[in-house]
Structure 1
Amino acid sequence: MAQANQYDSHEPGEHPKVFVSYTHDSEQHREAVLAFADFLMRHGIDVVLDRWATDRRRDWQAWMTRSITESDYVLVIASEGYRRMGDGTGPNHLNLGGQSEAALLRDLLQGDRATWTAKLLPVLLRGHGKEEIPKFLQPNAADRYEVPANTPEAAESLLRVLTRQPRDVPPQLGPRVVLPPRSMS
């Protein structure tokens, strides 16, 4: 019997919890991520976003680690800055939060590939391409989620994964076909 994992526990109607991982490439990018997070919240996705956690002084490393490991999914928002941090080619003195998040995600993926491949979802917002997805997230060999606009139609593939509502489902398995022999020689 197949063992159920923690990601199969969502029942329809529950609100999946997602951590949004992104780099602060520009004010325009930060605003696009904020608008995307707001869109998700308005459509039943419980979003953890750093910009919504500024009510007090925090140990951001501990907050990020706890938030990532307690979330059902981590949405990695692709950008040039995130690719550099994720691939380890960015300047060491810049985007320290992005470097920490990417390092933790690489380590979690390395430690349990099956679990974290399903949890780490690369997202391409409008104006971004697959070349901005860090190599450790397999931009060419694994799924990625393009969200060209903050609408349910434009985000359908991502929303279906987050809410476990597949677009296509297999039909019910019928009885095994019985085929008579072709010859009685």
Structure 2
Amino acid sequence: MNNPKTFISYAWESDETKDWVKKLATELRSDGIDAKLDQWEVLPGDQMPHFMEKSVRENDYVLIICTPNYKAKSENRIGGVGYEGDIMTAEVLQTSNHRKFIPILKSGTKETSIPSWLQGKYYVDLSNGRHYNNNYSDLTTTLVNDREVAPELGKISTSKRKVNQTFNTKVISEEEPIKIKGIVIDEITQPKNDGTRGSALYKIPFELNRTPSYEWKELFVNAWNHPPSFSTMHRPGIASAYGNKLILDGTSIEEVEKYHKDTLKLAVEVANEQIEKINSIKRQRLEQEKTDKENHRKNIEDISGRINFDL
């Protein structure tokens, strides 16, 4: 197995941050991950823009160390962080390799530290000792491609088919629009209510009729953050999507009933419309490619039939 190459992007905001990043990179390297760090790679006289572009392009993964300072610099395109943000977003658009870029929460919360262009992505929380110990292995198993996978499917027996027919199991097509089935009551979290700002808010999951694509999930999060219409109580940045669920993390059931329900439905509708347009373009392109291929083949056969090699 080749050692995965990983570049670490972070803001030079303090000596403490630089030391923390170096410690993380050192630990990754000790676990067989070829972590690249500007503190080790860049020498006086080197071209920083070239180093950044090369590092983002040539490494298997990019770990983005998220702090409130990093978020501010990234969103306002300030300094090296802003330049790297441009490079990374361009890389995503060109390659669609979203999994290459992994947000790492070092300090703050996901709302205050993760840039808007990364909102909704599965992030790794290393913001304190407890989270670090619990989540570091989640990061390394991802980088070495050693995450648990689903077991192999067994063969369906005749008796199992009869059971399925008895219950009239409905198979949902991937073409069917995404819909919200309802609130997953058992998975609603408990508010802290410790007197701090936002401590009365909590996480509310919503079950979908099927598991949407990764592309749909990104469209939904973007639609929630920038809806066509919304109430004065709208909260951008609290929506995410995992599996067959949508999550609002930082609200209450009362707010959902009064304010968020309509915006939630609207964001789903917008994502459905946008994904249908994208899929329609893909289908047209595939049909055109098929037609071009058939025409090319026919042209070759016609001309080949006219070529005679007899003397």
CA contact (8 A) 1:83 1:134 kept: yes
Amino acid at match of 1:107: A
1:75 to 52, 63, 80: 63
Amino acid at match of 2:34: D
Amino acid at match of 2:83: S
Cα distance in 1 for residues equivalent to 2:139 and 2:109: 16
Within 5 Å, which residues of 2 pair with 1:5-154? Answer: 13-88=1-76, 92=78, 96-112=79-95, 114-115=96-97, 117-125=98-106, 127-131=107-111, 132-138=113-119, 141-147=120-126, 148-149=128-129, 154=135
Displacement of 1:56 after TM fit?
4.4
> Aligned with 2:150: secondary structure?
coil
For residues 37-57 of structure 1, give each alpha carbon's deviation from its aligned partner in whole angstroms, at most 9, with x where no partner exists.
111111111011110024442
1:161 to 142, 146, 157: 142
Displacement of 1:151 after TM fit?
6.9
For residues 82-107 of structure 1, give each alpha carbon's deviation from its aligned partner in whole angstroms, at most 9, with x where no partner exists.
1112212x6x5xxx111111111122
Cα distance in 1 for residues equivalent to 2:20 and 2:54: 24
Amino acid at match of 1:142: K
Amino acid at match of 1:32: W
Fraction of identical pairs, as percent? 26
CA contact (8 A) 1:85 1:102 kept: no
Q: Give the superposed CA RMSD.
A: 2.2
CA contact (8 A) 1:152 1:159 kept: no
> Aligned with 2:63: secondary structure?
strand
For residues 46-83 of structure 1, give each alpha carbon's deviation from its aligned partner in whole angstroms, at most 9, with x where no partner exists.
01111002444201101110111000000000011211
Amino acid at match of 2:150: P
> Aligned with 2:11: secondary structure?
coil
Higher relative contact order, structure no. (Cα contacts within 8 Å, ≥ 6 residues apart): 1
Q: Which runs of 5+ in 2 are unaligned?
A: 167-311
Normalising by structure 1, we get a TM-score of 0.77
Tell me the equivalent position of 2:153: 173
For residues 123-158 of structure 1, give each alpha carbon's deviation from its aligned partner in whole angstroms, at most 9, with x where no partner exists.
113x442120111012xx220012244977540111
Moved more, 168-177 or 25-34: 168-177
Q: Which runs of 5+ in 1 are unaligned?
A: 1-12
> Aligned with 1:155: secondary structure?
helix
> Aligned with 2:72: secondary structure?
helix
CA contact (8 A) 1:20 1:74 kept: yes
Larger Rg: 2
Distance 1:156 1:128, change over 3 A: farther
Displacement of 1:31 after TM fit?
1.1
Displacement of 1:162 after TM fit?
0.2
Cα distance in 2 for residues equivalent to 1:47 and 1:62: 18
Cα distance in 1 for residues equivalent to 2:65 and 2:123: 10
Structure with greater helix share of residues: 2
Displacement of 1:111 after TM fit?
3.0
Amino acid at match of 1:105: M
